[in-house]
A = this chain, B = another copy of it.
Amino acid sequence: MEELKLIQKFKKLRQDKSVYIGPGDDAAVIKSGKKYLLFCGDMFIEDVHFTIKKCKFEDIGYRAVARTLSDVAAMAGRPKYIGVSLALPRKYSKKALSILKGIREISEKFKLSIVGGDMSRARKIFLDVWCLGYAEKNRITTRSGAKDADGIFTSGKLGCSLNGKVRFRPKIKEAQFLTRNFKINSMIDISDGLVLDLYRILSESKKQAVLFKDHIPLNPGAKIENALYDGEDYELLFTSPLKNRGTLEKKGFFYIGFIKNSRKAKVSIRNTEGKTLPLKIEGYFCL
């Protein structure tokens, strides 16, 4: 996994003391005056993350922004400004306005200002959206805070998320609600699959997790394998003290397992007969 190696390298880089959270989480957090700036970006590439056959151009623009906002949500941040890099093959240059339309729609929905952009030619459609926003220091949720005996929760159903719906609503409000009302010890958005993204929390928190097979909520048509390993769900995955389970479930969140102390990060699944088996750490991950 070259990306993991590279992230390790990035994490070792010297950072200015104003850098509150550096590389390796869903977004960077920078102290600026009395404020905490949030800064993150996400690429959306033709034939890697989407195909032209299955997507309208407007939806491509929409989703490119939504993916970046999902990273902001994972930190419980408030997105404010976006910069958009768009590269297109010449044959699609007239489609740029359609892509922009989708970008505008989601920007209006989330009251974002589109403050900058770069355009170029390329062989494949390439979008990279960088977001600038704010966070409140004591409500920032990282990957590294999971505690022993925390419950593990998701904000929605999992698996087969890309079937037929390209647009999704990044869970900005849910993250705000959660951090306003509960102790949320760790959080990530599920972009590369439940198991892999949970593993990222466990690695950073130095913990292990046990999932309950019959608790994992499935999208229509999805099997348990889809929920565990499909990418592109864009639901929140978070841990919170187990005592919050009842209230969180009433509010529509799903309790799917619990955190345990461990020397080594790992994910297990407990089936209905109470048998616990280790899960292979893999997911939708492209390098």
| Structural contact, A41 and B2, CB atoms closer than 8 A | no
| Structural contact, B115 and A39, CB atoms closer than 8 A | yes
Chain B residues, CB < 8 A from A19: 81, 113, 115
- Segment of A82-90, A169-177, A196-204, A252-260 engaged in the interface with chain B: A82-90
Chain B residues, CB < 8 A from A113: 13-16, 18-19, 22
Q: Mark A232-275, 1 if CB is under 8 A from B, else 0.
A: 00000000000000000000000000000000000000000000
A80 at the interface (CB under 8 A from B): yes
Q: Mark A1-36, 1 if CB is under 8 A from B, else 0.
A: 011011101100111101100110001101011110
Q: Which of A68-101 contact B (CB under 8 A)?
A: 80-81, 83, 85, 87-88, 90, 93-94, 96-97, 100
Chain B residues, CB < 8 A from A117: 6-7, 10, 23, 41
A45 at the interface (CB under 8 A from B): yes
A37 at the interface (CB under 8 A from B): yes
| Structural contact, B43 and A115, CB atoms closer than 8 A | no
A81-B123 CB under 8 A given contacts A6-B96, A128-B43: no
| Structural contact, B122 and A126, CB atoms closer than 8 A | yes
A42 at the interface (CB under 8 A from B): yes
Q: Give the CA-CA distance A154 to B113 in the complex, in Å.
A: 33
Q: Give the CA-CA distance A28 to B114 in the complex, in Å.
A: 10
In the assembled complex, the CB of A208 is this many whole angstroms from the nearest CB of chain B, namely 26
A121-B32 CB under 8 A given contacts A80-B16, A87-B45, A113-B13: no
Q: Which residue of B lies closest to A119 (CB)?
A: B3
Q: Give the CA-CA distance A42 to B6 in the complex, in Å.
A: 21
Q: How many residues of A contact B (CB 8 A)?
A: 65
A130 at the interface (CB under 8 A from B): yes
In the assembled complex, the CB of A128 is this many whole angstroms from the nearest CB of chain B, namely 4
Chain B residues, CB < 8 A from A107: 13
Chain B residues, CB < 8 A from A10: 100, 114, 117
| Structural contact, A93 and B2, CB atoms closer than 8 A | yes
Chain B residues, CB < 8 A from A128: 41, 43, 85, 118, 128
Q: Give the CA-CA distance A32 to B184 in the complex, in Å.
A: 28
Residues of chain A having any CB pair with chain B under 8 Å: 2-3, 5-7, 9-10, 13-16, 18-19, 22-23, 27-28, 30, 32-35, 37, 39-43, 45, 47-49, 80-81, 83, 85, 87-88, 90, 93-94, 96-97, 100, 104, 107, 111, 113-124, 126, 128, 130, 132, 286-287
